[in-house]
Chain A
Amino acid sequence: MDFLVFIPLFRTVEFTPMANHSEASFEKMPMWAGGRSPFNVSYGKLMMWIFLLSDAFTFSSLLVQYGAQRFSNIESQVTTKWPDPASIFNHFPFIHGIHLPLLFVSVMTFILILSSVTMVLAVEAGHRNSKKEVQKYMLYTIVGGAAFLGCQAWEWSTFIHEGARLWGNTFGITEQGYKHLSEVAFGDHFHWEEGDRTNGPVPFAALFFIVTGFHGFHVFSGVVINVVVYIMTVRGVFERRGHYEMIEKAGLYWHFVDLVWVFVFTFFYLI
């Protein structure tokens, strides 16, 4: 991988033992007899798909754990009922004290979907071998990813500021708290009062940090991959190679990250 090193164009002799089939006879080779790809994708892209499948298993196991924990949670003297996420996540940057449930996380979803669109536009531009457009759209995607990370960081810091920790939190809403919440509508002024909240179920904050943290780590690594691929595009590596397949592979990873966010958003905030 020649990320940042300029490699002069040179031709080498292919030495894999079975590479003696012509490009034309590739189509004539039997599909499942080995020696060729049985799909219409390259080796690297197929491996990326399989990696994404394995990553999907990992995220599924986390989300299933969340589902099992949440639906088995009962009230006790130590903790109260599992809080309704919309009552907890009702904040918005620069707008203090207004009850805006779900709004900020919807904005985050929109940012990530938009960055997915710019990514797929970069892939499409790569199909037409248009270097300028690939650069432009990759840059938009990187900006979108960084914006999402910033939003997630703000969400985390607000949550921690309100008392959420991996080992405990104060989001157990008491009866008084539920009464207070039932009087508040979307867009009203809202402040938690004394006695509204007590110790909440530990997995609530712990799972939030673990799952969104794991996803945020994927977004971060996706942004890093996009930056590397962007630099490679600018340096003309793909232009010389003759195809922009690396953009497609990075695109697959980025869309996977977006897809996982759709499910995290559904399970953590909506259900």
Chain B
Amino acid sequence: MEFYTKPGEYDPINYVPHTESHGTKELWKTFWILLGITLLDFIIYFALGPSGYRNFIFIFFGIVKAYYIVGAFMHLKHEKINLALIILVPTIFILGLIMGLLYEGNALSMIK
């Protein structure tokens, strides 16, 4: 069921702000960046042997890809900064959790 407001009425649940199109240029640019980084992943995998540096590079590339997907495709770059922070601040906590647990996992292997 949809509710149409009469002119002069504001419906807080169904209100949709008017959006303008930003054009496709930035989107295609983002696609080529994502493709390039994936190819780099592929090349670096074989160029470097298994090492901490390589892992760090992969995680860094993952974060770069996340920036482009969330910023450009999901449009978060163009939203109000408050909304962006709602997503980003908990994510930083998750990153901290990942790093802590990787360290603990490594420590656990020493104890086992």
Contact = CB atoms under 8 A, between A and B. Distances in A.
Interface of A: 2, 7, 11-14, 16, 18-23, 25-26, 35-43, 46, 49-50, 52-53, 56-57, 60, 63-64, 67-74, 84, 86, 102, 106, 109-110, 113-114, 116-117, 119-121, 123-124, 127-128, 186, 241, 243, 245, 248, 251-252, 255-256, 258-259, 262-263, 266, 270-271
Nearest to A241: B2
Given A20-B9, A255-B69, A266-B59, A60 B97 contact: yes
A137 B19 CA distance: 19
Contact of B87 (A13, A53, A73, A121): A53
A49 B87 contact: yes
Query: Majority SS of interface residues in chain A?
Result: helix
Closest 7 A-B residue pairs measured CB to CB?
Answer: A71-B105, A68-B105, A127-B21, A72-B108, A22-B8, A72-B109, A21-B10
**Chain B interface residue count: which class?**
35 or more
Contacts of A23: 5, 7-10
**Could you say which of B58, B74, B94 has the most chain A C-beta atoms within 10 Å of its C-beta?**
B74
Interface string B79-106: 1101100110011001001100110111
A241 B4 CA distance: 9
